[in-house]
Homo-oligomer: A and B are copies of this chain.
Amino acid sequence: MKSNITMRDIANKLGVSSVTVSKALNDKEGVSEELKQKIKALAGEMGYRYNSAAKSIKDGLSKNIGVLIPERFTGMSHSFYLRVYQQISLLLDQYGYFGILNILSNEDEELLNFPRVYSENKVDGIIVLGQISKKYIETVQNMDLPKVFLDFYDEHADIDSIVTDNFYGAYEMTNYLIRNGHRRIAYVGNIYSTSSIQDRYLGYYKSLLEHGMQLDHSLILSDRDDKGKFIDIALPDPLPTAFVCNCDQIAYLLVDKLKLNGYSIPEDCSVVGFDNDIYATLTSPQLTTVEVDIEQMAKSAVKFIMDKIENPHRKFGRVMVQGNIIYRQSARQIDAEDREISST
């Protein structure tokens, strides 16, 4: 169909063999410098382009990495995953690789079908971006290919995974609030919903423990149902002095609700988020939050997969990527008097 220039074409024009052309173009030993330059020049003129399929078939490497994102993380509010994918794609470039996005349909996940990117042998490794079902984790493990889980993990699987340090992020954030005088602190999130929400909750809890504070179950506020659909958040009475939200979007919604009820942030209560996504700066006042280090996460994922392509037996285990607290205006120090009143 396409009339592509091949090495043979170049060889014929110059009256040499295609082996010599191959050596010249790949800067291999065994061609005189002069001939090499002549070959390269002609290749340029003729618009020669490398046939990567032919190379693939020889060394068995496609030079592509599949990025598998479950369909349900694919909506407008999930642009987080797309940004991670973009970052991955940028980093792969440095290794001479490309990223192929393969959105895993709910159906394929349900039926445990291999992703097409795998069954068609299009990639040398797969990064699974976003939590998949337990069953499908098994399917992934059956794939004979290096793979890495990104942004989630599974307790049983011994697959290498990279997650944000949800636990310590929430822990540090809660510490910060306590240092600033808060004693009545709520956690907002359905703690049975995802591992991220649960781990952030546990970090919050650890901070309370370390400060000798009681866990008050009436201050654990669910934000979504089992399907992940947001629900109305019930405000405790009396109001906590601070809310640790499991994500910025929920913090944004909570701030809205608090304002509607006549409260000012951070005067009447502090609200902190997690993720540092677009909602963090759209909330007014802007949110104090934990920034997820997308770049570092992508960097680790790419590094791991590259290492595993070279050495399939390489193991990395579960790796946490540290986040950073971004201090903005949604949290404030409260003085002793406030504390007394609110800690009743």
Interface residues in chain A, defined as those with a beta carbon under 8 Å from any beta carbon in chain B: 1-2, 4, 47, 49-54, 56-57, 59-64, 74, 76-77, 79, 82-83, 85-86, 89-90, 93, 98-103, 116-122, 144, 278, 282
Copies of this chain assembled into the complex: 2
From B1, B59, B62, B278, contact of A76 by CB (8 A): B278
Bound state CA distance, A89 and B116, in angstroms? 13
Q: A50-B119, A51-B121, A57-B53 given as contacts; is B83 within 8 A of A76 (CB)?
A: yes
Query: Which residues of chain B have C-beta atoms less than 8 A from A47's C-beta?
Result: 144
Q: A57-B57, A61-B1 given as contacts; is B86 within 8 A of A121 (CB)?
A: no
Q: Are B50 and A53 neighbours in the complex by a CB distance under 8 Å?
A: no
Closest to A117 in B: B98
Query: Which residues of chain B have C-beta atoms less than 8 A from A100's C-beta?
Result: 64, 98-100
Query: Which residues of chain B have C-beta atoms less than 8 A from A121's C-beta?
Result: 4, 49-53
Closest to A116 in B: B93
Closest to A283 in B: B282
A317 CB to closest chain B CB (Å) equals 23
Query: Which residues of chain B have C-beta atoms less than 8 A from A278's C-beta?
Result: 76-77, 278
From B2, B49, B282, contact of A120 by CB (8 A): B49
Query: Which residues of chain B have C-beta atoms less than 8 A from A282's C-beta?
Result: 282
Query: Which residues of chain B have C-beta atoms less than 8 A from A76's C-beta?
Result: 83, 278
Bound state CA distance, A93 and B115, in angstroms? 11
Given contacts A49-B118, A76-B83, 15 further A-B contacts (CB under 8 A): A4-B121, A47-B144, A49-B121, A51-B121, A53-B56, A54-B57, A56-B56, A63-B120, A82-B83, A82-B85, A85-B101, A93-B102, A98-B100, A98-B116, A99-B100
From B79, B85, B119, contact of A49 by CB (8 A): B119
Bound state CA distance, A89 and B67, in angstroms? 12
Q: Are A57 and B51 neighbours in the complex by a CB distance under 8 Å?
A: yes
